[in-house]
Amino acid sequence: MLEKLFKLTEHGTNVRQEVVAGITTFLTMAYIIFVNPAMLADAGMDHGAVFVATCIAAAIGCFIMGFFANYPIALAPGMGLNAFFTYTVVLEMGYSWQVALGGVFISGIVFVILSIFKIREWIINSIPQSLRYGIAAGIGLFLAFIGLKSAGIIVDNPATLVNLGDITSLPALMAALGLFLIVAMASRGMNGAVMYSILIVTGLGILLGDVQFNGLVSMPPAIAPTFMQLDIMGALEVSMISVIFAFLFVDLFDTSGTLIAVAQKGNLLNKDGSLPRLDKALLADSSATIAGSMLGTSTTTSYVESASGVAAGGRTGLTAVIVGCLFLLALFFSPLAGMVPAYATAGPLFFVAVLMLSSLAHIEWDDLLEAVPAALICITMPLTFSIAHGIAFGFIGYAAVRIFAGKFNQLSASVLFIAALFVIKFIYFG
């Protein structure tokens, strides 16, 4: 049955190899079951319900990717997009988390339409590389800022906006320890370094009396507080267009980049460098986003950590299915997820930021017309505490510098259209 479903022999793999690859991938991305509930709880959502939604949404995404697209790529609620959901859409812009979930749902529907009608390729090919790299790096800086803030390393200051906090406090020291542990383990090639760091720091918090031990295993919490609570009509307001666009835009490029990178590592690309069954893989991603919004979590996307499973021998969708099964098993460890303090996730946030900042190396810094828009995104995204604003400044800047430099012919219709939309948004909706 497995041979028929996943064509194991054709891909040069076997069941044991796929199981090992699935476990490897899960260990490298399981940190999301601790980080995502903690982050969305800041938006006012029920921690236990989000934990369940995270696990189930990840499992659904993995199963669709495995059975439908037959790729060894795992999915879960995405880092960066969950921060945008909480700290920008809800806490800064003032929308309820129900409306934010509605925005995630609509972005998933649009993603499905773009995938079916092949519009995705036109959008991706027409968006400049420098803006893509700038967005990835900007989200990384945004996550780093959140991590430093949650650990009390950066605090507010009425005179300078931000200031150095008490770095001798327990949260600051534990956050630093968590980061150092991740780097030490990752540099030794240990799979699951991020998850192990969270568990170790949480364990130390329990030993020091800062965290109350509530057990390890129990039946999953109720999902009712977030299940089908999305407000789609509220998300159809004109002022939500930029939010939906940001959800869609980041997921679109994050997914495409991840699919190509992981497939390349596993030699799964066609001879011309294209990805076979790309439409099915994109439908798996967008369908998981729709399902996740109904369950009660932010955008679900493909994880680049899947490359670790491919490196361990994963070549088919069976790897993704194994990851999905492990996410379902994780449902019974909700007490552990509930004990994780904010400082235990601060180190992982900073580590993920470091990985995302690597995209800066691909920007053509000698070309000011490329460098300035990318820098605008990187700088404004964390300082405005908004992924959407960072993307807006990047597109407007990219169009403006070329217009003033007399390089109008270098601008594509899609870039001009998107930049114009953001200008209109700022003028009429702030």
pLDDT in the model for residue 179: 93
User: Does any domain span residue 4?
Assistant: no
Look at 296 and 5; give whichever has higher pLDDT: 296
User: Does any domain span residue 22?
Assistant: yes
Alpha helices by DSSP H, 128-240: 129-150, 170-187, 193-207
User: Does any domain span residue 273?
Assistant: yes
Convert the pLDDT of each residue in 98-153 to its tens digit.
Answer: 999 999 999 999 988 887 777 766 666 667 888 878 887 887 888 888 889 888 99
Count of H-run helices and E-run strands, the chain:
19, 4
Q: For every residue of 25-52, which 3-state class applies, written as one string?
A: HHHHHCCHHHHHHHHHHCCCCCHHHHHH
User: Does any domain span residue 3?
Assistant: no
Stated pTM of the model:
0.80
Convert the pLDDT of each residue in 191-246 to its tens digit.
Answer: 778 888 888 999 999 999 998 888 888 899 999 999 999 999 999 988 788 788 88
User: Does any domain span residue 5?
Assistant: no
How many domains does the chain fold into? 1
Q: Which domain holds residue 324?
A: 10-429
User: Does any domain span residue 271?
Assistant: yes
Whether 47 shows a pLDDT value over 80: the answer reads yes
Q: One-letter amino acid identity for 128?
A: P
Task: Return d(Cα 303, Cα 311) in angstroms, integer.
Answer: 14
Average pLDDT over residues 1-30: 84
Convert the pLDDT of each residue in 53-101 to its tens digit.
Answer: 999 999 999 999 999 989 899 999 988 789 889 988 999 889 999 999 9
pLDDT in the model for residue 184: 95
Average pLDDT over residues 327-335: 91
pLDDT band at 274; cut points 50, 70, 90: low
Instruction: Give strand pairing partners of 163.
Output: 155
**Mean pLDDT over all residues of the chain?**
87
User: Does any domain span residue 1?
Assistant: no
Pairing, β 161-164 against β 75-77: unpaired
Task: Return d(Cα 331, Cα 349) in angstroms, integer.
Answer: 23
Closest CA to 347 of 226, 214, 181: 181
pLDDT in the model for residue 272: 65
